[in-house]
Amino acid sequence: MGGPALRLEVVARERAEAEGLVGEIEALMREHNVYRGRVVAFSGDPEMGGFGIEVRTLPAVDRDAIVLPKGAPERVERHALGPARHRERLLAAGRHLKRGLLLHRASGTGKTLTAMYLIARMPGRTTVLLTGGAFGLIEPACALARELQPATVVLEDVDLAAHERDFEMPRGPLLFELLNEMDGLAEDADVLFLLTTNRTDVLEPALAARPGRIDQSVELPLPDATDRRRLIELYARGLELRSEQLEDVVERLDGASSAHVKELLRKAALLAAEDGDGGIAVEDRHLLAALDELVIASAEVRASLFAPAPGPNAFPFPPDEDEDELGDRRRLPALERWRGRPHPSAAVRR
């Protein structure tokens, strides 16, 4: 990391004796490495004078905090955790342990939360974190993972480094470096590559569609009505929820992500807290007012970022009529219905 190196020389009567001692020292270095079993994040730029490693403590994430469609958590757990549980039997049967898992879908659907849950389920395993600003450190990060395995390499928003090769951005070297690191692992290496992305449409097929690199791809979709109810219950913990119009709230959240639901309960709790002292009792008026604010904020962001605007099913524009009734008309935006004024994204939705 740019500092002075330590050189060790061994003098012995026989070469084999010296090599044996060096081997013992290297094994002890790996066993007692201060990063073993820790969560470490790489930062910096090796081309600009080196990089750094930061030890992090991630919050524990319980299983019930992961609200996904039926079957999805089981597929994720089996692929990520199973090889470590059955290591010896799998190796004896000639099966490899290295594996890749891709979590994908829209922003806010729980990809990072799921990754944190998996990390919490693997105590004692070295975890190496790489985000967009540190993708230039793929080689040293993967070297550390190989050295301190069992290990997990987490690459969030991997599309920033792994664009399809004909994509009009100069990301080729990072892509090839990632592919080389994944291919260069020994078959018995217990290293999990855990990748997340919101943009599967731009990922290089040689990465995303190649067993041996990404062996399992799991979509984390926007929550349906059942999961939106579960999310409301989850994020309402610690509050006194007094709602008789919960189904209306659930319906109006059609197209919202898990992050939207979490923010809804945060806003509602704040509104309820300002109404009185003591415990926080969230009533329908708080939920509906918070939902109104959430819709306005989301609509304004979409209007400023997207042209054309997202489809009519995208929150905060949930469907309100059947397609057959619309003919050539667009569905009325939710904000226009609820506020009685032109929608802020009208200019880009024509």
Query: CA-to-CA distance for 17 and 293, rounded, in angstroms?
Result: 73
Reported as a pLDDT band with limits 50, 70 and 90, residue 4 is low
Which residue, chain included where needed, has tokens 């639901």? 261
Share of the chain above pLDDT 70, in %: 80
Pair of tokens at residue 207: 């990465």
Q: Determine the pLDDT at residue 331.
A: 35
Over the stretch 99-138, which tens digit does the pLDDT of each residue have? 989 998 888 888 989 999 999 999 889 999 987 677 778 8
Q: Would you state the pLDDT for residue 271? A: 93
pLDDT at 29 over 60: yes
**DSSP result, 327-347:** TTSPPPPHHHHHHSS--TTGG
Mean pLDDT in the chain?
80
Q: Residue 175: its pLDDT value, please?
A: 77
- The three-class DSSP label of residue 39 is strand
Q: Is the pLDDT score of 238 beyond 70?
A: yes
Q: pLDDT digit string (tens) for 270-313? A: 999 998 777 899 999 999 999 998 888 777 777 776 666 566 56
- Which comes out higher in pLDDT, residue 74 or 341? 74
128: Cα separation from own chain's centroid: 14
Residue among 30, 5, 8 nearest 19 (CA): 8
Residue-level pLDDT at 25: 93
Tens digits of per-residue pLDDT, 152-192?
A: 999 888 877 666 555 454 445 677 778 888 887 777 889 99
Q: Which fold has domain 225-348?
A: Helicase, Ruva Protein; domain 3 (1.10.8)
Q: Which CATH architecture has domain 38-219?
A: 3-Layer(aba) Sandwich (3.40)
- How much is the pLDDT for 340? 43
pLDDT at 230: 94
pLDDT value of residue 335 = 43
Q: Where are the domains of the chain?
A: 38-219, 225-348
List strands edge to edge, sheet with 126-130: 50-56, 39-45, 126-130, 151-155, 191-197, 99-104, 216-219
pTM, rounded to two decimals: 0.76
